[in-house]
Structure 1
């Protein structure tokens, strides 16, 4: 389809070269004679005529629609008329059953800007381009993100701190938007950038920093005390944008940065074992983005950041602790309650208070200055994070509680309680009974406290290979695996490397078992009688003897010449 500029040019050319009349030109180009006269008068086509609403079906209802649009000038933003609502009111209140949605939509699209202009409101919002000084300003925001963790697809949050001058940004993923994550994201960003903006950092009205937005002045805030302490420690100021969508443009750089980074580095949905692993990947992606060039900039982000980094305020010597400190009491199930989630601690601390540092992705428990345990933080309210090792001392006395222990479920799920443990447990219960066999397993589990998981599993495999179901055998085999020079999973271990002698652990107790199925493979059944000490009774010197026995003994001795 020809544009009007091309059409006018062809009409003017045919008139100039061939001298055709207006009628002939209109017939050749299939247009109205009015169009031909316009083309001959000027090479520039006239603007399209503005649509004028004539006497149509909507004309009787135009005043009612205008009244609704004028009422929207003082109505709340989320309670203004939509086209659908206007049409419904026209049908209900004015009987406009012949009107269509398209007709009403076209009229509203034309009249709403006109009514806004009549009321003195700007038809379109105007934005002013800004120039930022090096090292002066930064912007912070959170963006939603989905991550495939071992527990399934989980909703997380992408923390972004972006320098305004260079566009250099630091991204970190957290399970929540809590204050711990907010502060920890700042610390990671300051450390990565090597400094702090000297003027201010721009924020939304996040609950992590702002307690109350004061009315009457959209820039005044009541700030959280811990946030004020953090700002004082790192010596920077905060700038809060206007509430709602009205202030989104005031930190437009970070608003677009979160989406850009997510599209370029987090698609498809990342699949990782933990958020710590994902944050390592994000740090590499941040450094890779130093080679990109922002629209309108001659230099790359990395080149601009090299200039800006020298202008940043230096970091303080001491690192701020971003975690929240608590002092919960350990209940009788050896658990503490932290943010509606229960975490286990060693059972010996029952009914005692411990010190907890709650961070964005972990929970650290202390007894005084001694660290007891470090849990991965759970974001599911009402959940339990239990460690089987914390209950082993109790299970020694209550072995029957182990099969149904709740702590055994996550141990099996995370792989710390393997199929090898299950096989040893079954063999031990068969050989020693349920209670004694379970105690043998508990002794094996206690080995994990001072030996690596691989060494203990290798010891279990070696013990099962020789048919042993004693914890002592597992300990010896695990120690040999730990000190062996040949690697993991060896059945034979060198005793004397110079002599080239190899030895295999053999359980003498199981070798004497009466059950043929429990006898070690490859060894014959020991049918010898048990040893007796009856003959050693002859060596006792203080025996009570009868007179007849005494006379007989003396006569025998006299015959041998032993008595004078």
Structure 2
């Protein structure tokens, strides 16, 4: 029951006029009301509330007990096999011939009645939250979230987030996977940025990197050994939320933080060449977010963190190796397999067993303690990452395998094998034949091991314009570009001109070497001294004409 605000104002006006001397009849004429209304206004300054009408009869009334029975049956039904409004409506039509009702009637009734049925059964509300107070430096929350970036093609990555519960300060890290290596590296990066470790609990999901097995319905978990060692090293006290969606609210701060960070910094989708470049951007965004306020707080995240940071535990002195070691064997294709993905190594290592250190975003290969290969880690399964340089020694012996090699296609996709390479290769094959022309190109690619890639491409372009189709000519022109850059660091590298424009010259390697030698002032060599030996062998006599000497 409710009272209209206009009626309260009307009562106040009539009481005011009556005190001013107006009679009841005058009040009737002025306000156009009956004497009963005036009498009620003079007797009470608050109007009587209007009686609310009872519920109107509905065509759904005969079927409401049936709907209640379905909702009560849902209380003990499996979570994914409860009645939806559509299913209730269909059952009323099929089983009870309820042709006079509409879907909107059923939906409006179920929206109110479902909660009442839970209360009547003593189940309480569907979800209830209790406000919590967090002490500075005491707790934190950790979680992973999915993000997409453009690295040539749309690529799915994983966003690690560690958020302090008191200040709301969060540190993020993007990696190619959400495995244990990324989990560890995210913690190490976050602790180094925060300058300490929370003194109390850190809340986690039941992710595989930290939980091997959930023991019944309790909070106890079986943890992997590496995670136990990592926690012990950093002094982390873990707290695991309830499995599934029911435990998401137990670390709602980091759940909301990931959504906020993704909406505000990954829209539009960032386009980067490498994850290292993206993580530099993420570090800048973390600093920017310190200036924001969370809900109705009086201070910014950065101001609260300045008060919280001294309360954190100090960092350990010794580092902890976050990567995982593997010992794969190199197959006959010059590849190793790590976590169902294949990576190339130099073909001279075929048949050997190597040591591989796998980090979250990169993979380093060692042979007898020496680094022999380094790859950006693949986030898919069954993929391959091949480096063309690893196969050059084999390809120079088998040039026929070069055009269709997978490493060549990946080099083209990555931009390492440019259109200038293709044009020079076509010209070399036209001049020397397929086999010799391909060998010449492989010799040029071998130069990249001790020459700058940009200088080598510029040398290729110059050699192509003048028709110098040998590796020596390309090497010489590349050295010219490198020397010009070294003499004047501020001068940009010369850009190759299109064929037919300007006059380009090329100096062959033997001519270049001779031109750089100092002038030779020595007399020409003579063999006259050897004639004296001939005379001594003949007894000092000079050979006569016609006699053999």
Give the TM-score normalised by the residue count of structure 2.
Answer: 0.82
Answer whether contact 2:150 2:270 (CA < 8 A) is retained.
Answer: yes
Q: Which residue of 2 aligns with 1:545?
A: none
Q: Which residue of 1 aligns with 2:514?
A: none
Answer whether contact 2:40 2:47 (CA < 8 A) is retained.
Answer: no
Answer whether contact 2:11 2:45 (CA < 8 A) is retained.
Answer: no
Answer whether contact 1:458 1:488 (CA < 8 A) is retained.
Answer: no
Change in 2 beyond 3 A, CA 1:489/1:131: closer
Distance in 1 (alpha carbons) for counterparts of 2:358 and 2:24: 89
Q: Which residue of 2 aligns with 1:415?
A: 415
Q: Which residue of 2 aligns with 1:403?
A: 403
Match of 1:71 among 62, 70, 73: 73
Cα RMSD for the two superposed structures: 3.3
1:12 aligns with 2:14: no
| Count of residue pairs the alignment pairs up | 498
Bigger mean CA offset, 184-193 vs 313-322: 313-322
Change in 2 beyond 3 A, CA 1:367/1:12: same
Change in 2 beyond 3 A, CA 1:462/1:105: closer
CA deviation after TM superposition for structure 1 residue 42, in Å: 6.5
**Post-superposition CA distance 1:191-212 (Å, at most 9, x none):** 1111111112101111221122
Change in 2 beyond 3 A, CA 1:225/1:50: farther
Answer whether contact 2:11 2:41 (CA < 8 A) is retained.
Answer: no
Distance in 2 (alpha carbons) for counterparts of 1:351 and 1:92: 70
**Post-superposition CA distance 1:519-539 (Å, at most 9, x none):** xxxxxxxxxxxxxxxxxxxxx
Q: Which residue of 2 aligns with 1:246?
A: 246
CA deviation after TM superposition for structure 1 residue 118, in Å: 1.6
Distance in 2 (alpha carbons) for counterparts of 1:38 and 1:337: 91
CA deviation after TM superposition for structure 1 residue 489, in Å: 4.7
Change in 2 beyond 3 A, CA 1:37/1:122: farther
Change in 2 beyond 3 A, CA 1:107/1:415: closer
Q: Could you list the runs of 5+ residues in structure 1 that have no partner in the other structure?
A: 493-502, 510-540, 543-549, 555-564
Q: Which residue of 1 aligns with 2:373?
A: 373
Answer whether contact 2:3 2:50 (CA < 8 A) is retained.
Answer: no
Aligned ranges 1:100-249 → 2 under 5 Å: 100-123=102-125, 125-150=127-152, 152-217=153-218, 219-249=219-249
Distance in 2 (alpha carbons) for counterparts of 1:177 and 1:226: 16
Distance in 2 (alpha carbons) for counterparts of 1:44 and 1:137: 55
1:427 aligns with 2:430: no
Change in 2 beyond 3 A, CA 1:363/1:47: farther
CA deviation after TM superposition for structure 1 residue 45, in Å: 7.6
Distance in 1 (alpha carbons) for counterparts of 2:357 and 2:64: 65
Distance in 2 (alpha carbons) for counterparts of 1:40 and 1:244: 63
Answer whether contact 1:195 1:312 (CA < 8 A) is retained.
Answer: yes
Q: Secondary structure at the match of 1:77?
A: coil
Give the TM-score normalised by the residue count of structure 1.
Answer: 0.80
Distance in 2 (alpha carbons) for counterparts of 1:251 and 1:440: 61
Q: Which residue of 1 aligns with 2:332?
A: 332
Q: Which residue of 2 aligns with 1:306?
A: 306
Distance in 2 (alpha carbons) for counterparts of 1:114 and 1:456: 77
Distance in 2 (alpha carbons) for counterparts of 1:323 and 1:299: 39
CA deviation after TM superposition for structure 1 residue 108, in Å: 2.1
Distance in 1 (alpha carbons) for counterparts of 2:545 and 2:336: 82
CA deviation after TM superposition for structure 1 residue 490, in Å: 5.5
Distance in 2 (alpha carbons) for counterparts of 1:292 and 1:11: 49
CA deviation after TM superposition for structure 1 residue 14, in Å: 5.1
Change in 2 beyond 3 A, CA 1:99/1:441: same
Change in 2 beyond 3 A, CA 1:491/1:197: closer
Q: Which residue of 2 aligns with 1:521?
A: none
